[in-house]
A and B are shown apart, each in its own frame.
Chain A
């Protein structure tokens, strides 16, 4: 039976460093999210210009989650959230993780080795969300704290939410440099010669060859 660990945000570096790749977690507290590459680029522009972000992410989270938000009488409501592919943010994440000392990043599909190295240095984990888990993940949203940069299309905005029991999520990359994504790819690559041999054998069998 797999245990799911409940984590309250903000989270300490110590707790983050105690997590292992493959662990299941659930989150309570405030999270920040966006699904836009232009959003990441704007974050870096702000960093370079020494400007303060409209939503502070220092020591916090930045998840690759898309959300549908809309302005209803001056207040934003968020109708649903869901993860997006993180690997397309590989190039910008090391700078952002380091600059803001992020404790948690996440989405789906993982991040590359350069990101994992920075995460190890900073004390940050990558959490893998269920793609196609929108109804379950959205039920965890309890309050919309703020929505910034609404000049972007909805899923590119920077959104801060308060969540309860968000998950279960899987630690895909821990703060020790272990990445389940790398491990699985390496293992699949190692297995490939045997897999191809198996295909040859099955092909011979299917052809009725001895």
Chain B
């Protein structure tokens, strides 16, 4: 057997739909825990409403948010995967299929940045990045539709041999600038090092990490802990009501580079859209959040 065009198309469409209608289990759990720990009554109320909204979307087959975002897919191809057909086209066709079939329909968010015209299609859409996994007999697809609310607050700056103090101060500057505009409580992805492009990529990938998975790099595990504490001391709270819950997690990734060190900071809103699947050579599809 092989991994076919039809399988990739179908999985690409269903992952997107899943992102719009169901928030990850670990995120719901984090919101619940945050609600229990909150000391601000308004914030507690908003966190409860978030869980109600998530539940209503999931049980009545509706979108949690009307901003369906733009299609973003991360694809990893196993070197032992057998591919049959145009896999790249299948992802693009999968999104088109979603647009044609999803109920309720989604709004037109794909924007031509030169004219601000909006539609379902556009240059370089969907946004797909590819990587390889040595030896794997599957193709892994992760979908993370990106909406304006949280998408517009991502930032990157390039430093020269920064200390950890400088890096963390920059993260806090970005947090201060975003305020409560990005629909908190957010997940914050931080990338340190690499090059301009790689840094943004690892920051984004860091937001995909499930909650509770400890950073294998002790320096970064410590940094995540103290940054989360620092972000929640700002007091913006859920949707800007004030309170103790501005972020649910801070995930930091690093890559070596030259002494010019980019630091990238990006945000996922409380819905924390992410859904993935591995399609194996034998046709088995394994889903994960």
Chain A residues proximal to chain B, CB less than 8 Å: 1-2, 22, 24, 38, 66-68, 70, 79-82, 84-85, 87, 108-110, 128, 130-136, 138-139, 153-155, 168, 170, 172, 180-181, 184-185, 187-189, 191-192, 194-196, 198-200, 202-203, 206
- B82-118 contacts to A (CB < 8 Å): 104-108, 116, 118
Known contacts A84-B148, A135-B56, A136-B49; decide if A191 and B180 are in contact (CB<8 Å). no
Question: At the interface, yes or no: B38 with Cβ under 8 Å from chain A?
Answer: no
CB neighbours (8 Å) of B60 from chain A are: 135
Q: Judging by beta carbons under 8 Å apart, are B181 and A79 in contact? A: no
Q: Kindly identify which residue among A130, A168, A185 contacts B50, using a CB–CB cutoff of 8 Å.
A: A130
Q: Judging by beta carbons under 8 Å apart, are B172 and A192 in contact? A: yes
Number of interface residues, chain B, beta carbon within 8 A? 59
Q: Kindly identify which residue among A130, A135, A184, A200 contacts B57, using a CB–CB cutoff of 8 Å.
A: A135
Q: Judging by beta carbons under 8 Å apart, are A138 and B62 in contact? A: yes
Q: Judging by beta carbons under 8 Å apart, are B53 and A68 in contact? A: no
CB neighbours (8 Å) of B67 from chain A are: 66, 82, 84
Known contacts A184-B240, A198-B233; decide if A108 and B65 are in contact (CB<8 Å). no
CB neighbours (8 Å) of A87 from chain B are: 181
Assembled-state Cα–Cα distance A84/B147 (Å): 10
Question: At the interface, yes or no: B52 with Cβ under 8 Å from chain A?
Answer: yes
Assembled-state Cα–Cα distance A84/B66 (Å): 9
Q: How far is the CB of A190 from chain B (nearest CB, A)?
A: 10
CB neighbours (8 Å) of B233 from chain A are: 191, 194-195, 198
**Binary per-residue interface labels of chain B (217-242) against chain A in the complex, 1 for a CB within 8 Å, 0 otherwise:** 00100110111011001111101111
- B242-279 contacts to A (CB < 8 Å): 242, 269-271
CB neighbours (8 Å) of A22 from chain B are: 42, 241-242
CB neighbours (8 Å) of B57 from chain A are: 134-135
Q: Judging by beta carbons under 8 Å apart, are A155 and B107 in contact? A: yes
Q: Judging by beta carbons under 8 Å apart, are A80 and B62 in contact? A: yes
Q: Kindly identify which residue among B50, B107, B165, B225 contacts A66, using a CB–CB cutoff of 8 Å.
A: B107
Indicate the member of B66, B165, B180 with the most A CB atoms within 10 Å: B66
CB neighbours (8 Å) of A1 from chain B are: 41
Q: Judging by beta carbons under 8 Å apart, are A154 and B107 in contact? A: yes
Question: At the interface, yes or no: B214 with Cβ under 8 Å from chain A?
Answer: no
Q: How far is the CB of A195 from chain B (nearest CB, A)?
A: 5
**Binary per-residue interface labels of chain B (40-56) against chain A in the complex, 1 for a CB within 8 Å, 0 otherwise:** 01100110011011101
Assembled-state Cα–Cα distance A25/B119 (Å): 35
- B105-139 contacts to A (CB < 8 Å): 105-108, 116, 118-119
CB neighbours (8 Å) of A132 from chain B are: 50, 53-54, 64-65, 183, 269-271
Assembled-state Cα–Cα distance A81/B226 (Å): 38
Assembled-state Cα–Cα distance A66/B190 (Å): 30
Assembled-state Cα–Cα distance A134/B180 (Å): 18
CB neighbours (8 Å) of A38 from chain B are: 116
Q: Judging by beta carbons under 8 Å apart, are A195 and B230 in contact? A: yes
Q: Kindly identify which residue among B108, B168, B180, B229 contacts A109, using a CB–CB cutoff of 8 Å.
A: B180
Q: Kindly identify which residue among A2, A79, A138, A199 contacts B165, using a CB–CB cutoff of 8 Å.
A: A199
Known contacts A130-B46, A136-B49; decide if A195 and B234 are in contact (CB<8 Å). yes
**Binary per-residue interface labels of chain B (63-82) against chain A in the complex, 1 for a CB within 8 Å, 0 otherwise:** 11111000000000000000
Q: Judging by beta carbons under 8 Å apart, are A185 and B107 in contact? A: no
With A135-B60, A154-B108, A181-B179 already in contact, 19 other A-B pairs whose C-beta atoms are closer than 8 Å: A66-B107, A68-B106, A79-B104, A109-B149, A130-B239, A131-B270, A132-B183, A134-B62, A135-B53, A135-B62, A136-B52, A170-B46, A184-B240, A191-B233, A194-B233, A195-B230, A198-B233, A199-B226, A202-B222
- B147-174 contacts to A (CB < 8 Å): 148-149, 152, 164-165, 168-169, 172
Residue of B nearest to A189 (CB): B176
Q: Kindly identify which residue among B66, B149, B235 contacts A68, using a CB–CB cutoff of 8 Å.
A: B66
Known contacts A135-B62, A199-B227; decide if A85 and B181 are in contact (CB<8 Å). yes
